[in-house]
């Protein structure tokens, strides 16, 4: 993966709802989820979900498949694998076995594609809760910024 592509992918994940959607699709595995299901599980409106899904799709982290009148989104496994490889290529001073399993089969490690450990894949409710919490934290941080005093012509 090229540096610029990694920046685009990471920028897409740098938002609470998009990270929540991404993590939800990791749990769902290759079958993915319908756009309406994603919106409901993350706790956002359809228009907002559509915007965030398009950003993740544009970054190459997920892909859309039309099913009649519905759109199903799923993790783009190969691109996620490339991103993880890019992030860890110089890992651990030449001892990649520390992250080898993750790079070999991210769905098995991160989601529904074979993960048998209950702690390995977060529950959907937990993902939605973290996405909402992240959004609330961002609003709180914005609200707590001191206002700049207005200078009357000086």
Average pLDDT over residues 139-153: 46
Q: Which residue ranges make up each domain of the chain?
A: 3-89+96-132
CB 79 within 8 A of CB 22: no
pTM of the predicted model as reported, rounded to 2 decimal places: 0.65
Could you give the CA distance from residue 64 to residue 113 in angstroms, rounded to a whole number?
19
Helix (H/G/I), strand (E/B), else coil: 35: helix
Instruction: Kindly report, residue by residue over 83-141, the tens digit of the pLDDT.
Output: 988 888 777 666 666 666 665 665 565 554 443 444 434 444 555 555 555 555 545 54
Q: How far apart are CA 18 and CA 24, in angstroms?
A: 10
**Strand, helix or coil for residue 87:** helix
Backbone angles phi, psi at 11, to 5 degrees: -65, -40
Strands 62-67 and 33-34: unpaired
Domain 3-89+96-132 annotated CATH 3.40.1190.20: no
Cα angle for residues 56, 60, 65 (degrees, 5° grid):
80
Partners of 33 in beta bridges: 73
pLDDT of residue 89: 79
Tell me how far apart the alpha carbons of residues 29 and 74 are, in angstroms, rounded to a whole number: 7
């Amino acid at each position: 993966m090229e540096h610029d592509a990694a920046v685009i992918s990471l920028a897409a994940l740098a938002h609470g709802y998009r990270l929540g959607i991404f993590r939800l699709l990791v749990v769902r595995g290759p079958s993915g989820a319908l756009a309406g299901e994603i919106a409901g599980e993350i706790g956002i409106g359809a228009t907002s979900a559509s915007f965030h899904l398009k950003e993740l799709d544009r970054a190459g982290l997920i892909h859309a498949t039309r099913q009649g009148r519905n759109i199903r989104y799923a993790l783009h496994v190969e691109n996620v694998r490339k991103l993880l490889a890019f992030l860890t290529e110089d890992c651990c001073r030449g001892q990649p076995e520390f992250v080898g399993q993750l790079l070999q089969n991210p769905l098995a490690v991160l989601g529904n594609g074979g993960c048998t450990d209950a702690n390995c894949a977060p529950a959907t409710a937990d993902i939605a809760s973290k996405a909402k919490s992240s959004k609330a934290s961002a609003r709180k941080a914005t609200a707590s910024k001191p206002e700049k005093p207005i200078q009357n012509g000086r």
